[in-house]
Structure 1
Amino acid sequence: MNQTNDQYYITKIVAGDSNAFAVLVDRYKDLVFTLALRMLKNREEAEEVAQDTFIKVFQSLVKFKGDSKFSTWIYRITYNGCLDRLKKYKQQYNVVPIDDFTERQIVDLDNALEALEEQEQRQEILECLHLLPYEDRFLLTLYYYEEQSLEEVSKIVGLTANNVKVKLFRSRKKLAAILKERLEPEIIEHYAREDR
């Protein structure tokens, strides 16, 4: 998805070709839905936010100046929509203490993860990701899964790149705490089976 290609369709839509909007929706619908689902942890809510996002994008497309990538702009709209929805329902999320974790424990966790098969590891990480507070889930998703740069993530969430870097570090530590808690019993069981 390149910015020039997006701009071509944006220009057509602004000029009155509403059919061209279907191309942008098709291009970004999965990303928008995935981000909303990771933040809200509810399929129906995520679908509603995704739909609202595209309505807002269509209505505001004339305001898009191209200062940032179109994907960054649409992620920002999705993010704000999710925040509004969360504030509306005042949902509570798990709080994971991170003070007790050191860099060494994160390295140990990374080594422990290598003991799992790749598919199991990915599934376990995704399940644990859903246990994080919505902001942490969203940041980790954008940076690691959607491979957005620090600058792009900072534009989406409205923070400085340094602030995002600190939040990503803390989010990784929270994820590591959850993974450690869930994986240790599994690894112990794995080695116990091997000893028999």
Structure 2
Amino acid sequence: MNLVETRLAKLARNGDRGAFEELVNLYKDKIFHLAYRMLGNKQEAEDAVQDTFLRVYNNLDRYDENQKFSTWIFRIGTNLCIDRLRKRKPTYSLDAEMPDSEGNDFYAMLASKDELPEDQIVLSETQQVIRRAIQTLPEKYKSVVILRYLHDMSLQEIGDVLGMPVTTVKTRVHRGREYLRKKLDTDANFSL
């Protein structure tokens, strides 16, 4: 458990705006990345971040100091994104272009220092295919796959964030990965 975050949460609960601002600064990018990956839309992700911090601020008195703050805030952010996804009507095409993620690609760090321009094009196309495939995941798999592979959370942490048993998380990660594997195999002859 991070004692600094717990201390900041206590101070914020008692009206210290500077402490709350520090919490926002610690988590705004992480929550944005989570929301962007779940929602696939920059504006919606920014709105989800604002909603997350508004909900955190309004519910600081409910924060259990025996729990990791990161788990609590990720649960709030994830649940808000899931709510937004549920309210959506399926108006997007499975092969629609994803908006550019403005440098937030998790595969960008895989690039070699000696990369040739044609390799960069292939990597960029691969990233787009994977992003599109993640967006097609059923809602119940999307959140666990994003938390596991894009936020590098353990199965236990995901279980804590989503409020479900680790066995359920493990099953959903496996099924989500299989869904992606099939999607990528049929769409672009990629393999995970």
Q: TM-score, normalised by structure 2?
A: 0.75
Q: CA RMSD in A?
A: 2.6
Instruction: Work out which of the residue numbers 164, 169, 189 in structure 2 matches 1:164.
Output: 169
1:150 alignment partner in structure 2: 155
Alignment of 1:25 onto 2:24 = yes
Over residues 140-171 of structure 1, what are the superposed CA-to-partner deviations in whole Å (9 max), with x where a residue is unaligned?
11112212111111121121110110111000
Partners of 2:145 and 2:138 lie apart in 1 by 11
Partners of 2:91 and 2:176 lie apart in 1 by 17
1:20-59 matched pairs, under 5 angstroms = 20-59=19-58
The one-letter amino acid of 2:43's match is E
Partners of 1:58 and 1:135 lie apart in 2 by 27
> 1:28 deviation in Å?
0.8
Q: Does the CA contact (< 8 Å) of 1:38 and 1:134 recur in 2? A: no
Runs of 5+ unmatched residues, structure 2: 95-118
2:111 alignment partner in structure 1: none
Alignment of 1:66 onto 2:65 = yes
Partners of 1:91 and 1:76 lie apart in 2 by 24
> 1:24 deviation in Å?
0.9
Task: Give me the identity figure in percent.
Answer: 35
Runs of 5+ unmatched residues, structure 1: 96-115, 188-196
Over residues 11-47 of structure 1, what are the superposed CA-to-partner deviations in whole Å (9 max), with x where a residue is unaligned?
2212221121111111111111121122222222221
Give the length in aligned residue pairs: 165
Worse overlay, 123-132 or 163-172: 123-132
Secondary structure, aligned partner of 2:136? coil
Over residues 38-79 of structure 1, what are the superposed CA-to-partner deviations in whole Å (9 max), with x where a residue is unaligned?
222222222111101100001111211123211111111112
Structure 1 outlier segments of 4+, above 6 Å: 92-95
1:181 alignment partner in structure 2: 186
Secondary structure, aligned partner of 2:174? helix
> 1:176 deviation in Å?
0.5
1:125 alignment partner in structure 2: 130
Q: TM-score, normalised by structure 1?
A: 0.73
Partners of 1:123 and 1:31 lie apart in 2 by 21
2:14 alignment partner in structure 1: 15
The one-letter amino acid of 2:147's match is L
CA shift in 2, pair 1:143/1:63, >3 Å: same
Q: Does the CA contact (< 8 Å) of 2:34 and 2:151 recur in 1? A: no
1:97-136 matched pairs, under 5 angstroms = 119-120=123-124, 121-122=126-127, 124-136=129-141
The structure that is helix-richer by fraction is 1
CA shift in 2, pair 1:70/1:62, >3 Å: same
1:80 alignment partner in structure 2: 79
1:141 alignment partner in structure 2: 146
